Amino acid sequence: MNNKMNVYLVDDSMEMIHSMKEALTKSDGYQVIGSATNGEQCVNELRGKHLDVLVLDLIMPKKDGISVLHDLKKNHIQVDHIICTTPFVNDLIVAGVQNYRIDYILMKPFKIEQLCDKLNFIVGYTRKEHISSNVVKVNLDDDEKERLQKLSSQPLSLRFQNALIMGDSLAEAFGDYQLVSSSNLLATRGRRTDNIDQEIATAISLAPRTIFLSYGMNDLEYCRGNAQRFIRQYKKQIHKLKEALPDTKIFINSLIPMDAAAIAQIPVYARYKEFNEALKQMCEEEQITYIDNTALMDWSPAVYEIDGVHPQYSYYPIWLAHMANEAGI
């Protein structure tokens, strides 16, 4: 007889899913029956099912974790235990989870052992009553609520205190929306990999522990879609940083898709995938980390500003959290 508890994992990072699955599979008490990288997939796969444990990322593309919590009841999904994960907590998240039955909120980044220990404690020492109403109360004690309130007062920007984000107008929006401090941002509209010598010199003088580079949107047009030309320029800047800052970790952001209307006006935008493939190869050669941002949104027309190139505000906290998670800061 199989007495293992069924676990379903939801996280926007496949790497995180693999790590959680590997750890839980080694345990005698759990079996991972499935996983999803966005909330929409999660709801579709679990519709009408009963689940022992749901590990749910709150910040995801297409359908976020709070929306999944809202959809559990109306999609006849029964879950006995819920652990939520999130890279940050703000007032909206605290308010969003108040009406749902959650065992614990685990802050990213976390060690996989923390998840296992917390799950073992919850399953071993708590028992919930089945609640038939559409609204269920959050199962957090006073200490946990106090912890969340403290976390909600700590902006995501604190994770970037020892980091520097460099880029073009996409990254510049972090400052426009006041998501990161100006001291941790070096981004200007129109910047390309060939015209950032001054920014590179400034970055070297600041000597941050971590640098995130986000270039390519303007290079697409400037390089006329020539990915190798783009990479040659990018490598020159990376080599300057690596030589001057050997202990600094460097992360390269992917390009993101543009809307069909923008591509119709500037057809070379359609070659962003080629640029991303070239970036991946470059990162492997340079032994630095490539951050894939292409799955963070569904990239429907509603995601973009009127130009079809720049995403609206909702993208930027998700992107920022994704960078922090990938860098482990």
pLDDT digits (tens, 9 = 90+) for 139-198: 455 555 555 555 554 567 788 999 999 999 999 999 988 888 899 999 999 999 999 999
Q: Give the global pTM.
A: 0.61
CA 200 to chain centre: 26
Preceding omega of 267 cis (within 30 degrees of 0): no
pLDDT band at 137 (very low <50, low <70, confident <90, very high): very low
pLDDT over 70 percentage in the chain: 88
**Which one of 3.40.50.2300, 2.40.10.10, 3.40.50.12280, 3.10.20.30 gives the CATH number of domain 5-151?**
3.40.50.2300
Give the tens place of pLDDT for each residue, 101-136: 788 888 877 888 888 888 888 876 443 333 333 333
Per-residue pLDDT at 156: 72
Q: How far is CA 37 from CA 54, 96, 109, 197, 202, in A?
A: 13, 20, 17, 38, 37
Q: Same CATH topology for 5-151 and 156-327? A: yes
Give the tens place of pLDDT for each residue, 20-69: 999 998 877 899 999 999 889 999 999 999 999 999 998 877 788 888 98
For the chain, domain boundaries: 5-151, 156-327
Give the tens place of pLDDT for each residue, 269-296: 999 999 999 999 999 999 999 999 998 8
**Which one of 3.30.470.20, 3.30.43.10, 3.90.1150.10, 3.40.50.1110 gives the CATH number of domain 156-327?**
3.40.50.1110
- At how many degrees (to 10) do helices 197-206 and 227-244 cross? 30
Q: Per-residue pLDDT averaged across 224-230, rounded?
A: 95
